[in-house]
Amino acid sequence: MTHYRSRDGLYTVEIVELSGTPDHHDGQWLRLRHCGFYLADVRAVTDLEHYVPLTELLDDDGLATPFTSLR
């Protein structure tokens, strides 16, 4: 599973695969957490940017996220 975090560590993002959901929201989603608590599942990177600036996200190695190139 791929993880990203904000520079301040308050937000984390992981790519999750949902299947067999009762509301047919199957597929890959970006799961956003704030201080470890679930905040939202979003489908698109542009929706993620409503919560946290993409330039603030780093991968597990502390490198800039590839999301910034997807805008």
Query: In the prediction, which pLDDT does 62 show?
Result: 77
CA distance 61 to 71: 22
**Which residues lie across from 30 on neighbouring strands?**
15, 42
pLDDT of residue 51: 93
Helix (H, G, I), strand (E, B) or coil at 55: helix
Q: What pLDDT sits at residue 66?
A: 65
Tell me the C-alpha distance between 62 and 38, whole Å: 22
Task: Write out the H or E segment, with its range, that includes residue 45.
Answer: helix 45-48
Per domain, the residue ranges of the chain are: 3-57
Greatest CA separation for the chain:
36
pLDDT value, residue 67: 67
Q: What is the pLDDT of residue 5?
A: 92
Q: What is the mean pLDDT of each run of 10 residues along the chain (71 residues)?
A: 86 92 88 96 91 88 67 49
* pTM for this entry: 0.81
